[in-house]
Structure 1
């Protein structure tokens, strides 16, 4: 469950104040947030993830007002309950695919279960590169690894920042369908923030900033 109320944000040394529409998602509900560049899409995602603190308003995830708790508790909450799919790949270059997923589980405080890892890699069709180093992966494999790292710890919320911006039509649909499928498997809320209108038909809920 995710709910936001009267959310605003202002960067230091900037006069512009971002004001965001209210969000109310029940369990398993997904949301597409559309908007052109510079409108505040990534800012909103970082607010929802607790990486930025709003100027006003509140964000409630799983009945917790995430900005009413201490920074250390928020870090732990984020690590266990939020999965982030970034535009830029954040895998550790010196580790293999499977080692990156093991590290993600460790950092989220979850037990490392190689059977679960193998199942997820199979679901995302990257089992063949399980032991490969990050710098040997293709762009498509990196994209799928990014999804795997976002969902391996069974988060309650999956936040994806422009996950299809560099993809052709076929792979665009593949990536979004994978995200929707993984969210459904873990009963998570999926929020995709993008300027890519090609994926609008795959979501029943959408808002435009």
Structure 2
């Protein structure tokens, strides 16, 4: 009954605009993260870009949460909206934490698995951009949304594998050398893995909304 009632009332369509704006910060943040992971002389520039995009994402998140409080009719449940935007924001927050760790430990070179993890994170961000507009017409897009969320989960699993591979390589590389390099490498790997975990959380929130609405 509630679903039918919502269907006949006007909606605040700005939610979808804000979702899409936030998703674009994920794409931009992931691209900056990839740039950082290439190493070289521009690491600081890319770290600053990650922080800039994280600040933009925070501002959009605040707009969404304010709209949730002020809007009478929302496109789907208020809790679902809050959980979705929060999970998205957590993803770019974790990108910033990665960049902060790189700056703190003055990392200048990155292992190949780290760069591969960065590429997968960029793929995850692009999948979220594809998925969010489909939520405006969930019933017509169930199969596509499901395929996207399944791919996000699959990519998160691949990042987990790279994390394990990377830790093993780090151990073999540094077990008779500088322990601090090993510790710092582990820190970077852990942060990158957490970014992918947060994208998996986004996939779960999208699935939750889809189940609720269909």
Q: TM-score, normalised by structure 1?
A: 0.27
Q: TM-score, normalised by structure 2?
A: 0.27
Which one has the bigger helix percentage? 2
Which one has the bigger strand percentage? 1
